[in-house]
């Protein structure tokens, strides 16, 4: 219901903003890890793993994967982490092209999907790694908050433009509700954010490059939403869970961020901002 959605957002947004801006880096990293573990729990169910033993094993393995990422960060394995994030960002750009061009139908498939679960868990871990790396920058808390605002603005632009002018389907086989007009609305919102990024942060990058970064990040964030929709359609599920009233599960809230994080960090690196 709309009132549940609005109330949940009003409660969550101040908490999220305060955590990003004021929590010490290790605590914020653990909070992000908790969100990813909740998302992983939903992924296990969507991929057909309903038993308690399988869920515990999956969550334990994922927690170990996050721990390895943290050790790499704390051990200052900068070159390794940079290469991993480069691969994640490039992978999302490739996946975005595939999702936008897909025109087939996605049918529900019963049974376990170990390959999909493995891929999705690695993607989720890489998203966590990129967000933690971003938050550790001198301007990191502000940049992480900006990334979230960019996604929120893009989502709002897509929603209003899609409802007002939506006629042409973006990827009907995966997400019938998304339209090209909605995508254009999201991109328009990202340009506004790009201007804000230029004037609010000292990144030593030209306005044109920052606008391009925001455009590409927004495109990939939409691909993240499509990727989660694909997983849900395979599972025959409307939402990833019921954790957040009016919003569904954790994955329903962070799907765009999972995709946008590595690409945004990669873009900052290319612009000379060490991330």
pLDDT tens by residue, 116-134: 999 999 999 999 999 999 9
The closest alpha carbon to 148, from 223, 96, 218, 205, belongs to 218
Q: What is the mean pLDDT of the chain?
A: 89
User: On the CB side of 197, how many CA atoms lie within 13 Å of its CA?
Assistant: 30
Per-residue pLDDT band at 30 (split at 50, 70, 90): very high
Would the pLDDT of 1 be above 90?
no
Check residue 272 and give its pLDDT.
81
Average pLDDT, stretch 159-183?
Answer: 89
DSSP 237: -
What values do phi and psi take at 148, rounded to 5? -65, -40
Average pLDDT, stretch 27-40?
Answer: 95
Would the pLDDT of 4 be above 80?
no
23 vs 110, which has greater pLDDT? 23
Would the pLDDT of 81 be above 70?
yes
Q: Is the pTM of this model over 0.85?
A: yes
Helix (H, G, I), strand (E, B) or coil at 132: helix
Strand partners, 179: 169
Q: How far apart are CA 186 and CA 16, in angstroms?
A: 22
Q: Which tokens sit at 182?
A: 């909605």
Would the pLDDT of 189 be above 70?
yes
Strand-pair category, 169-171 with 175-179: antiparallel
Q: How far apart are CA 28 and CA 185, in angstroms?
A: 31
Q: Please say whether the beta carbons of 12 and 244 come within 8 A.
A: yes
The Cβ of residue 142 has, within 10 Å, a number of other Cβ atoms equal to 16
62 vs 102, which has greater pLDDT? 62
The closest alpha carbon to 222, from 137, 39, 96, 79, belongs to 96
Check residue 172 and give its pLDDT.
84
Per-residue pLDDT band at 67 (split at 50, 70, 90): very high
């Amino acid at each position: 219901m709309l009132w549940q959605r609005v109330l949940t957002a009003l409660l969550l947004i101040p908490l999220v903003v305060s955590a990003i801006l004021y929590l010490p880096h290790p605590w914020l990293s653990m909070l992000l890890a908790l969100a990813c573990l909740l998302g992983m729990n939903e992924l296990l169910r969507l991929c057909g793993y309903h038993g308690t033993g399988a869920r515990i094993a999956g969550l334990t393995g994922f927690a170990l994967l996050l721990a390895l990422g943290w050790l790499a960060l704390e051990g200052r394995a900068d070159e390794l982490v940079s290469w991993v994030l480069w691969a994640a960002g490039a992978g999302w750009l490739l996946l975005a092209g595939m999702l936008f061009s897909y025109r087939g139908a996605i049918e529900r498939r019963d049974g376990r999907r170990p390959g999909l679960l493995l891929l999705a868990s690695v993607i989720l871990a890489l998203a966590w790694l990129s967000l933690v790396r971003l938050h550790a920058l001198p301007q990191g808390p502000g940049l992480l908050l900006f990334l979230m605002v960019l996604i929120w603005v893009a989502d709002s632009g897509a929603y209003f433009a899609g409802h007002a002018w939506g006629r042409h389907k973006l990827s009907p086989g995966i997400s019938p509700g998304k339209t090209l007009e909605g995508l254009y609305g999201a991109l328009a919102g990202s340009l506004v954010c790009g201007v804000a990024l230029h004037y609010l942060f000292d990144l030593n990058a030209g306005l044109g490059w920052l606008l391009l970064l925001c455009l590409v990040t927004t495109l990939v964030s939409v691909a993240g939403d499509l990727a989660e929709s694909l997983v849900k359609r395979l599972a025959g599920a409307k939402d990833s869970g019921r954790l957040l009233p009016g919003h569904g599960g954790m994955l329903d809230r962070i799907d765009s961020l999972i995709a946008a994080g590595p690409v945004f960090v990669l873009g900052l690196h290319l612009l000379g901002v060490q991330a």
